[in-house]
Structure 1
């Protein structure tokens, strides 16, 4: 079995520290933690959409528990997946127990009924109750991500504790906060200042990442539903050093090599956006027009109607419609050029809007 090739879009390691997410505990879904690719430059560093990830912050329910001499192994499920969390035992417990046993009994009487030994025991019991969890408890854990010898992704906890959440207020707040973090930070490419760029940062993968970030921000801010490639050409001009930001007829014409570089960058960026399912071409023609997946309401409606209608059929009544079935139906009813990744983006949007729900990783029904 051959090893997988390194990700060519991985930014140089000298630039990782410029991304603030690298120094933070990234609050990611367990599904994304399990799917992150490990760096081919530095083992133990993982990447989510060009962001280098070292430590994560996870909140979920304990679904299995194993105890060893030095640590607990908890399986934490946040609704998107299950990940192993290695939580080390506190070595101070033994020292505290020995200290309590050796404490003089006369110490309690000297404080007029207040027994510091008993209070210390209660404090230790409270500490243990927050550290020893059972199946069904809610656990919050922070720590670096690692891959075990067996190839399983897990979290080496640096901090963990049991969350008392009887009315699910903490979990609801967490579920509402994570989509905002993804939208504002994790799903956006980190934009570096020109003064921070080095020669390695001007490599093709880094330049492509910056270009895709610029176009994503523009499409999102302007709420663009469809566009032609030349509509976005001017947005990429600042990324090419040899092209003046505001060319005029009185200036010398742009060098042919820079113009080719700009058009090549635009083609590669649009291809990257298509590969991510963010845009697609409804009609293949010499005059290309791209649809923005997030704002194509007709595609959303057709997808939702297909799931609603076919979920009533006996074949799909139990689990719902499989993503490949939805893809085939959308191609027949709406557009034959829609890809699977585009449908997956649409399904994610509909699910976030509570218009559909997923019964498995690949099956969906209408609420």
Structure 2
């Protein structure tokens, strides 16, 4: 990233990713560009990042008096993780009075219990090659080899006999990329545009919350128009004798314009769509449209049985084309993705990859 393209460091705190542990692929951590303003801060797609959260297999290890050094591989790359030992790990045993230990037989022995806790902690922090390790901490560049590494603030071995943790991780991280990391941060340039966006955002949230709470499947614009009335400031109906009338949209016009923009935003998100475009504006709420959900399930169920899709699953674009032909030509990809996500959360279907789906047997 060129210096002129970097966001000024005074604005970094406006990006929520800056204060979070970013769950990035190791490949991207190694390729991030270091800031020219503040050393130790890196940029991924204009997002300032300095601490990350990774999960991977240990492929090499070294141990020193003060730290462990693990090489972690998440299948996209390998990064060195410097994991510092705490005082408990450095101690060979917990100091205690042997007479107290002997006198505590038959009752609660605090020294013995502390030893158990110490052994449990050591077993979680001493990771062997081939075991699963999770590491969270800031990204650093080593002085000696000038290689990028993670200085762990938290690290522990993950017990994952049925790979449940790894599967959940592989499903969550691509979604974070789509929703956060691959979308550049956009800051409003002036207060007017900020106020406008804020009003549209509030209107969109009001309509969305109402439709969800009432489980509405279909509605017309005038059904939700009154919900936005508190957001609209009506123009003054009269002026003083010394003032000229101020031209501007009336309260009713502002309300209709705000409603139009909010419905467009919901359509762009896929939350609502129009099954048939006609003078009678009828909007369908995507996840509450039972006929649409049934059509999507039928397409996936039928095509999953075909030899062409038996192994990889049915591609999302094929599902979109089939559902458009069967149900509505106006269905958007965003609306379909919301239905697929809802079906997957309900364990009706399963994603074979980012864009392939099949029925859950």
TM-score over 0.5 for the pair: yes
Report the 3-state secondary structure (helix = DSSP H, G, I; strand = E; otherwise coil) of the residue aligned with 1:316: coil
1:130 aligned residue: 124
**Contact 1:45–1:53 (Cα < 8 Å) also in 2:** yes
Structure 2 distance, partners of 1:92, 1:347, is: 46
Structure 2 distance, partners of 1:297, 1:291, is: 10
Report the 3-state secondary structure (helix = DSSP H, G, I; strand = E; otherwise coil) of the residue aligned with 2:200: helix
Quote the offset at 1:330 in angstroms.
Answer: 0.7
Candidates 56, 63, 67, aligned match of 1:62: 56
Alignment pair present for 1:162 and 2:157: yes
Distance 1:83-1:216 versus aligned 2 partners, 3 A rule: farther
Alignment pair present for 1:226 and 2:229: no
Q: Which runs of 5+ in 2 are unaligned?
A: 29-37, 103-111, 141-148, 181-190, 237-247
1:330 aligned residue: 323
Candidates 69, 79, 98, aligned match of 1:111: 98
Quote the offset at 1:165 in angstroms.
Answer: 6.3
Quote the offset at 1:263 in angstroms.
Answer: 2.3
Report the 3-state secondary structure (helix = DSSP H, G, I; strand = E; otherwise coil) of the residue aligned with 2:84: coil
Structure 1 distance, partners of 2:162, 2:133, is: 15
Report the 3-state secondary structure (helix = DSSP H, G, I; strand = E; otherwise coil) of the residue aligned with 2:156: strand
Alignment pair present for 1:239 and 2:234: no
**Contact 1:357–1:364 (Cα < 8 Å) also in 2:** yes
Quote the offset at 1:157 in angstroms.
Answer: 5.0
Structure 1 distance, partners of 2:134, 2:329, is: 45
Aligned ranges 1:142-181 → 2 under 5 Å: 157-164=152-159
Quote the offset at 1:227 in angstroms.
Answer: 1.1
TM-score when normalising by structure 2: 0.60
Aligned ranges 1:186-201 → 2 under 5 Å: none
Structure 1 distance, partners of 2:61, 2:309, is: 41
Distance 1:119-1:296 versus aligned 2 partners, 3 A rule: closer
Candidates 189, 201, 210, aligned match of 2:202: 210
Structure 1 distance, partners of 2:130, 2:232, is: 54
Structure 1 distance, partners of 2:71, 2:12, is: 34
Greater Rg by CA: 2
Candidates 68, 84, 95, aligned match of 1:90: 84
Structure 2 distance, partners of 1:145, 1:240, is: 47
> How much is the aligned-residue C-alpha RMSD, in angstroms?
5.5
Structure 2 distance, partners of 1:91, 1:286, is: 69
TM-score when normalising by structure 1: 0.59
Alignment pair present for 1:354 and 2:347: yes
Quote the offset at 1:160 in angstroms.
Answer: 3.1
Quote the offset at 1:22 in angstroms.
Answer: 9.0
Quote the offset at 1:356 in angstroms.
Answer: 1.2
Quote the offset at 1:259 in angstroms.
Answer: 3.4
Q: Which runs of 5+ in 1 are unaligned?
A: 7-12, 35-41, 147-153, 187-198, 245-254
**Contact 2:82–2:150 (Cα < 8 Å) also in 1:** no
Quote the offset at 1:331 in angstroms.
Answer: 1.0
Distance 1:126-1:270 versus aligned 2 partners, 3 A rule: same
Structure 1 distance, partners of 2:225, 2:80, is: 49
